[in-house]
Amino acid sequence: MRRLLLIGAGHAGAELLRRWAAAPRHDVELTLVSPDPLAPYSGMVPGWLAGDYAWEDCCIDGARLAARAGAKLIVDRVVALDAARREVSLAGGRVLGADAMVLNIGSTVRMPGLSEGRPPRVLPTRPLGALREAVDHLAAAGCASSREPELVGVGGGAAGIETLLALRRRMLQAGLAPRCTLLTRDTELLRGLNARARRLARDALARAGVAVRGGFEVQSLASRGLVGPAGPFQAADLVLWAAGAVAHAWPADAGLDVDAAGFVRIDSTLRSTSHPWLFAVGDCAACHPPLPKAGVYSVRMGPVLAHNVAAAFAGRALRDYRPQRDQLVLLNTADGRAIASRGRFAAAGRWAMRWKDAIDRGFVARYR
């Protein structure tokens, strides 16, 4: 019996499990290692943060999917890979070997160190499970120490804007009156989207009273604030950290071929360029040319991954993954509206939020 190890139940991995359930390979033992049986779907996480969805509504049930696929689920986290022995070590102490592996572990964030004093509370936006834990902890601790806390989002991309607007709304509902600021390293928000989408995002932030401070690269946490390289200070009680996706360290430590940022280099069939028995998909993979770190790419990799894993075991030809040229972006502005953007088109309204809600619920429902 050959062994396949799926590490992380990201979006592509969920599709692999779904297709495996429909066409199981009885000569391959499939094991999923995931720190949580529930795998959050990022599109709905800002809606959860704003209080519109329960956490379970936003999640794919990895345990149920694994059971349907006849896979064994191990609730744990991989901490190291021995590529020569094809073995992984888990945080709980177990060692697992496999003939083939799929890495679908997403990305994380790198938060700044503390320079002095009592730092603000920082909520990481990635991994999404860590965001949930931090928010639950915050709610348990009473949300904020003052009625008018300084709420600061760091990162001018979609995740930074959506999470800041969502948390602001949650705090308003809790009777607080946060003063909100969005810090971005660039002077422009939403790099990669068209000018109209960027203007619509600025309008939404302005309507919510969010001050945007561009050209501010956070260097460290200080007493009740954040400091930039040349000394500018931003007061902060609570910080949402959404300053870009960072690679998990252990794949590079294992000697896999990685790009300059530590993401696993893959070929057009989604296999590691250095270790072809290992597939890497979603945020943790580095395609050539590089792709944005967005869930839609992981979703589209799913069917190719499922085909190629089965084909590799059967000795059949593998398919190429061809990324879409542009993607539909639907940004939840936490005011009942969303911004829709694709190519040079952008518009905003309640209709866009209804559209987003239908797409997102439909996506999660496919895995129920």
Q: What distance in Å separates the CA atoms of residue 8 and residue 280, rounded to the nearest whole number?
A: 11
3-state secondary structure of 277: coil
Give the tokens for residue 49: 């943060």
Nearer to ligand FAD among residue 35 and residue 112 (C-beta): 35
Question: Interface with ligand FAD by CB under 6 A: which residues?
Answer: 7-12, 33-36, 39, 42-43, 45-46, 77-78, 104-106, 125-127, 129, 159, 162-163, 248, 282-284, 293-296, 298
Count CB atoms within 10 A of the CB of residue 99: 15
Tell me which residue of 66, 86, 68 sits closest to 13, measured CA to CA: 66
Nearer to ligand FAD among residue 33 and residue 221 (C-beta): 33
| Residue 307: CA count within 13 A, CB half-sphere | 12
Nearer to ligand FAD among residue 256 and residue 294 (C-beta): 294
- Residue 2: C-alpha distances to residues 131, 241, 313 (Å): 36, 41, 9
Nearest-approach distance from CB 304 to ligand FAD, in angstroms: 13
Residue 160 CA, distance from chain mean position: 12
CB-based contact 86:97 (threshold 8 Å): yes
- β-bridge mates for residue 34, sequence order: 75
Nearer to ligand FAD among residue 163 and residue 181 (C-beta): 163
Nearest-approach distance from CB 121 to ligand FAD, in angstroms: 17
CB-based contact 294:107 (threshold 8 Å): no
Nearer to ligand FAD among residue 178 and residue 282 (C-beta): 282
Nearest-approach distance from CB 26 to ligand FAD, in angstroms: 25
Nearest-approach distance from CB 40 to ligand FAD, in angstroms: 7
Nearer to ligand FAD among residue 225 and residue 248 (C-beta): 248
Residue nearest to ligand FAD (CB): 282
Nearest-approach distance from CB 214 to ligand FAD, in angstroms: 21
Nearer to ligand FAD among residue 127 and residue 178 (C-beta): 127
Strand 28-34 relative to strand 2-7, pairing: parallel
Nearest-approach distance from CB 3 to ligand FAD, in angstroms: 16
Cα angle for residues 162, 167, 170 (degrees, 5° grid): 130
Indicate the helix (H) or strand (E) that contains 90.
strand 87-90
Nearest-approach distance from CB 246 to ligand FAD, in angstroms: 12
